[in-house]
Amino acid sequence: MTASHLPYTRNGLKFFTKKGGLTSLEVEEICDRAARKYANRLAKVSTMLATPPTRVNFMSAYAAHLRNVIKERVNHPTHYDTPLKGFQIIVNAGNGSGGFFTWDVLDKLGADTFGSLHLNPDGMFPNHIPNPEDKTAMALTRAAVLDNSADLGIVFDTDVDRSGVVDAKGNPINGDKLIALMSAIILREHPGTTVVTDARTSVALTRFITERGGHHCLYRVGYRNVIDKGVQLNQDGIETHLMMETSGHGALKENYFLDDGAYMVVKIIIEMVRMKLAGFNDGIGSLIEDLEEPLESTELRMNVIAEPRHAKVKAVEAIEAFRQYIEEGKLQGWELDSCGDCWVSEGCLVDSNETPAAIDARMYRAKVSDEENGQYGWVHLRQSIHNPNLAVNMQSTVPGGCRSMTAVLRDKFLLASGMNKTLDISQIDNYLGS
């Protein structure tokens, strides 16, 4: 039972089988069966199962597995069973289910976890929204790391499929930085591997990955999309070990392509200990020192003004109109981005492959340039996966770039196409200060 990374109003149930997470059709079938069972119970028809369920303690097996991975990979020369002795690690479980990582993984490996935060599950999430992208979650973890002079801080969402970390200097590592950190670790283990991410990552991240000999495949927002792309690339013979979304979901080939926030952190901890044993005292933050940050980065949302049942169609219309405007050259200097620097067949970002994947939400990214600066930014426009709105993400390497791209988006596209009648552009107006 989880709210994932969302406030308490979004608590719900998540289902898994041996094969991993369920699709929405499978969830519908479960709900259908549950409804039938409930109706039967009301009608006093027996609902006894032919094979009664058995109770299995998955958590202790899982924690033991994580401990073993750390022990084996660190292979500590003097204390094999307690490789984290001498390290202080703060966990912020956001009152979700991640507390086990403190007492069942870290403590048992000899770490000092004093100062950890919000370890007891509380579905009302009284302290902050349980999301490694949440500013309060990160700020509180940072403060705890600095107050305790800890080596590492860890932030989980409620169901531990997302994570973020704070380094010993108090620097938050989430979003692009977390992808960079994981890429640095994975590229050392698998030189030349492909890293799949969603297409909201910075141009600097692509550079970071390619400079270390990796390939960066930019794909669709949505962790399932990113992971499925990685699975497909491997099937096509393109070695792909890491799939990550800027939201903090990350999956590794070696961990069955599961988005497992605890496993991600396990990899970071192993690297931290390994570095210390090798005599490097600068901590894991030093692995991403050369990752440049985009000068400007912003996200704006536009609600679809329509009855809920029509919202999806209207959103698709708006996104497709955006593509058409760019293709017809109506937005000067804007060009549809296919796959960044990715060497995978052109166009997977816009799903014009020979075998296009099923699309859960439409999205396009445009690279934007002008005479003075060359390519200086990008605009990513997409349907929200869950809500009746469109998300616009932008990044610029020149001052005022996001503002000027927003102005073009509003004046030359939203107003010119009449899309402002179907979309609530007040956030765009506010951003432009009018």
Ligand X SMILES: O=P(O)(O)OC[C@H]1O[C@H](O)[C@H](O)[C@@H](O)[C@@H]1O
The single residue among 153, 164, 222, 294 that binds ligand X, judged by CB under 6 A, is: 222
Binding segment for ligand X (CB under 6 A), chosen from 108-116, 241-249, 322-330, 400-408, is 241-249
Binding segment for ligand X (CB under 6 A), chosen from 56-64, 202-210, 216-224, 284-292, is 216-224
Query: 111 vs 304, which CB is nearer to ligand X?
Result: 304
Query: 248 vs 340, which CB is nearer to ligand X?
Result: 248
Distance CA 114, CA 88 (A): 7
Give the footprint of ligand X on residues 57-86 (CB under 6 A): none
**Interaction of residue 177 with ligand X, rule CB under 6 A:** no
Helix orientation angle between 261-277 and 58-74, rounded to the nearest 10 degrees: 20
Query: 199 vs 269, which CB is nearer to ligand X?
Result: 199
**Interaction of residue 10 with ligand X, rule CB under 6 A:** no
Min dist. Cβ of residue 391 to ligand X (A): 5
Query: 167 vs 176, which CB is nearer to ligand X?
Result: 176
**Interaction of residue 378 with ligand X, rule CB under 6 A:** no
Per-residue H/E/C for the chain: CECCCCCHHHCECCCEECCEECCHHHHHHHHHHHHHHHHHHHCCCCCCCCCCCCCCCHHHHHHHHHHHHHHHHHCCCCCCCCCCCCCEEEEECCCCCCCHHHHHHHHHHCCECCCCECCCCCCCCCCCCCCCCCHHHHHHHHHHHHHCCCCEEEEECCCCCEEEEEECCCCEECHHHHHHHHHHHHHHHCCCCEEEEECCCCHHHHHHHHHCCCEEEEECCCHHHHHHHHHHHHHCCCCEEEEECCCCEEEEHHHCCCECHHHHHHHHHHHHHHHHHCCCCCCHHHHHCCCCCCCEEEEEEEEECCCHHHHHHHHHHHHHHHHHHHHCCCCCCEEECCCCCCCCCCCHHHCCCCCCCCCCCCEEEEEEEECCCEEEEEEEEEECCCCCEEEEEEEECCCCHHHHHHHHHHHHHHHHHCHHHCEECHHHHHHHCC
Encoded amino acid at 55, one letter:
R
Total site size for ligand X, rule CB under 6 A: 11
Residue with tokens 């166009």: 347
Encoded amino acid at 385, one letter:
I
Min dist. Cβ of residue 301 to ligand X (A): 8
The single residue among 151, 228, 245, 271 that binds ligand X, judged by CB under 6 A, is: 245
Min dist. Cβ of residue 386 to ligand X (A): 5
Binding segment for ligand X (CB under 6 A), chosen from 116-124, 289-297, 378-386, 393-401, is 378-386
| Cα maximum dimension of the chain | 76
**Interaction of residue 249 with ligand X, rule CB under 6 A:** yes
Binding segment for ligand X (CB under 6 A), chosen from 18-26, 117-125, 384-392, 402-410, is 384-392
Whether the Cβ atoms of residue 302 and residue 141 lie closer than 8 Å to each other: no
Q: Could you count the other beta carbons within 10 Å of the beta carbon of residue 428?
A: 20
**Interaction of residue 421 with ligand X, rule CB under 6 A:** no
Binding segment for ligand X (CB under 6 A), chosen from 114-122, 129-137, 218-226, 397-405, is 218-226
The single residue among 385, 398, 407, 432 that binds ligand X, judged by CB under 6 A, is: 385
**Interaction of residue 247 with ligand X, rule CB under 6 A:** yes
**Interaction of residue 167 with ligand X, rule CB under 6 A:** no
Handedness of CA 193, 199, 204, 207 (dihedral sign): positive
**Interaction of residue 141 with ligand X, rule CB under 6 A:** no
**Interaction of residue 248 with ligand X, rule CB under 6 A:** no
Task: Convert residues 390-419 into a mask of x (bound to ligand X by CB under 6 A) and - (unbound).
Answer: -x----------------------------
**Interaction of residue 223 with ligand X, rule CB under 6 A:** yes
Helix orientation angle between 203-211 and 175-189, rounded to the nearest 10 degrees: 10
Binding segment for ligand X (CB under 6 A), chosen from 59-67, 182-190, 274-282, 380-388, is 380-388
**Interaction of residue 20 with ligand X, rule CB under 6 A:** no
Binding segment for ligand X (CB under 6 A), chosen from 11-19, 176-184, 383-391, 426-434, is 383-391
Distance CA 365, CA 394 (A): 9
**Interaction of residue 387 with ligand X, rule CB under 6 A:** yes
Query: 275 vs 305, which CB is nearer to ligand X?
Result: 305
Task: Convert residues 324-363 into a mask of x (bound to ligand X by CB under 6 A) and - (unbound).
Answer: ----------------------------------------
Min dist. Cβ of residue 379 to ligand X (A): 16
**Interaction of residue 220 with ligand X, rule CB under 6 A:** no
**Under the rule (CB under 6 A), what is the footprint of ligand X?**
221-223, 245, 247, 249, 384-387, 391
